[in-house]
Amino acid sequence: MKYIEKLRKSGLRPTKQRLQICEVLFDTERTFHFTINDLVKKINEKLNHKISLATVYNTVHAFEKKGYLKQIPINSNQTYFDTNISDHHHFYDLKEEKLIDLENSDVGPINIFKKIDGKKIKSVEVLVKLED
């Protein structure tokens, strides 16, 4: 399996559950945005059995910490994650409640003129809210 090495390199044991979650998350044509609930549904569809909810949470957080997933800041009662870990921005369709990627070429360069002493910029994220 191609994910075994990836997990080992990260210091994560390649367990059955983690490998199966890798398949659901990363064996896709396109990247996508999801909540934990979305992911549990995908797992139940793709596999014919369940992975415990605690494991799904644990795994997603482990993957996020290792940089294989990104969390998207958005006002929702649920946390949104992204399998697209490149630097990029988002549309948020308020009616559909769906995120849409804005690739870097879709957004002009962003200049931040203000500086805070002793702090470095870690990331710059743009959220563009869409209405009808």
Partner DNA sequence: TTACTACTTTATAATGATTCTAAAAAGGTG
Partner DNA sequence: CACCTTTTTAGAATCATTATAAAGTAGTAA
Q: Which residues bind its own copies (CB under 8 A)?
A: 71-75, 79, 91, 93-94, 100, 102-103, 105-114, 116, 118-132
Residue 48 binds which of its own copies, Zn ion, DNA, none (CB < 5-8 A, kind-dependent): none
Q: What SS3 class is residue 77?
A: coil
Give bridge partners of residue 33 from the DSSP assignment.
82
**Alpha carbon distances (Å) from 23 to 20, 28, 105:** 5, 8, 29
- Give the largest Cα separation in the chain, rounded: 53
Rg (CA), the chain: 17
Among 16, 115, 119, 120, contact with DNA (rule: CB under 7 A): 16
52 binds DNA (CB under 7 A): yes
Nearest CB to its own copies, comparing residues 16 and 95: 95
**Alpha carbon distances (Å) from 126 to 69, 79, 102, 118:** 18, 17, 9, 23
Residue 74 binds which of Zn ion, Mn ion, DNA, none (CB < 5-8 A, kind-dependent): none
Kindly report the number of other CB atoms within 10 A of residue 113's CB atom.
4
Nearest CB to Zn ion, comparing residues 62 and 127: 127
36 binds DNA (CB under 7 A): yes
12 binds DNA (CB under 7 A): yes
Residues interacting with DNA, by CB under 7 A? 8, 12-18, 35-37, 50-55, 57-59, 61, 77-79
